[in-house]
Homo-oligomer: A and B are copies of this chain.
Amino acid sequence: MASNDLAVEVHDLTYAFPGSKRSAIHDLSLSVEWNKKVLVVGNNGAGKSTLLKLLSGKHLCLGGNIKVGNKNPFAPNNDQESVILTTYLGTEWASMAIVHRDIGVLELLESIGLSHYRARGEELVRILEVDINWRMFKLSDGQKRRVQLCMGLLKPFKVLLLDEVTVDLDVVARDRLFQFLDRETRDRQCSVVYATHIFDGLAPWADEIIHLQDGTITRTLDYQRDIHFTKEIEGVQERKDNGRHTVILGYMKSLYPLALHWLTRDQVEDQKL
């Protein structure tokens, strides 16, 4: 494998929506190595969704250079690979019509290739607490979302682009999903780029944190190297150490551990009944 082999490689990317004078992404450069989990942090409108769509090949980009797994994501993929290159799970994906129809979960999963990925499918069904006997049109939003995630993750990906699709999940399902993605990036040659507004439990999960501002990346931090936690301070301190940007974060009060503790126990009790 060549030493320059990267999961995502973007140079000087600029993108404006058709008919718009203002660019949504400008002069953006990004490298993501294999086996990495990257969080993308930015305000509404900073360009997170646009960036993920460009990486997934949903938008054609003329200015700049994008490679995902050494390939142009917009080019047609003629490989007969059992592992697909990119899986993109975003907001349009979440509103797919099929999940509202009168169809069973098993039938739905079989229609997208469950027989080829049986073990993986069983693991996802367990993690996301999906019942394969469910009928889709009878489900709650949270249940539909969990089925969708099973569908989206059934085929092994090389690069997973997640645009905040965990919002309907309860804390237990979210936690298990992130543990699954952690194992995936450790055990297979793959990477995850996740744009989110929800930070509960994600601190130790992330390998890199990218700050996207006004269409460009203003900061990339390596979790192990650049971020330090201390119980001695409150809030955030940023500083330059030998030219390297470092962040020191105080520990915080959060009800998240309590919710995770309670709701995990609830699920164990439910399974005993």
Chain A residues proximal to chain B, CB less than 8 Å: 39, 41-46, 49, 91, 129, 140-143, 146, 164, 167-174, 197-200, 202-204, 206, 209, 211, 213-214, 219, 227, 229, 231, 235-236, 238, 247, 249-259, 261-263, 266-267, 270
Query: What residue in chain B is nearest A45 (Cβ atoms)?
Result: B140
B44 and A206 contacting across the interface, CB-CB below 8 Å: no
B252 and A252 contacting across the interface, CB-CB below 8 Å: yes
- The complex places the Cα of A174 from the Cα of B214 at a distance, in Å, of 19
Chain B residues near A261 (CB, 8 Å)?
235-236, 238
Chain B residues near A213 (CB, 8 Å)?
262, 266
A168 and B41 contacting across the interface, CB-CB below 8 Å: no
A254 and B91 contacting across the interface, CB-CB below 8 Å: no
Tell which of B203, B258, B263 touches A253, judged by Cβ atoms closer than 8 Å: B203
Tell which of B129, B170, B203 touches A255, judged by Cβ atoms closer than 8 Å: B203
Chain B residues near A198 (CB, 8 Å)?
167, 198, 200
A252 with B262, Cβ < 8 A, contacts A169-B44, A197-B170 known: no
A206 vs chain B, min Cβ distance (A): 7
B249 and A203 contacting across the interface, CB-CB below 8 Å: no
A199 with B259, Cβ < 8 A, contacts A91-B141, A252-B251 known: yes
- The complex places the Cα of A267 from the Cα of B168 at a distance, in Å, of 27
- The residue among A146, A170, A199 with the most chain B CB atoms within 10 A of its own CB is A199
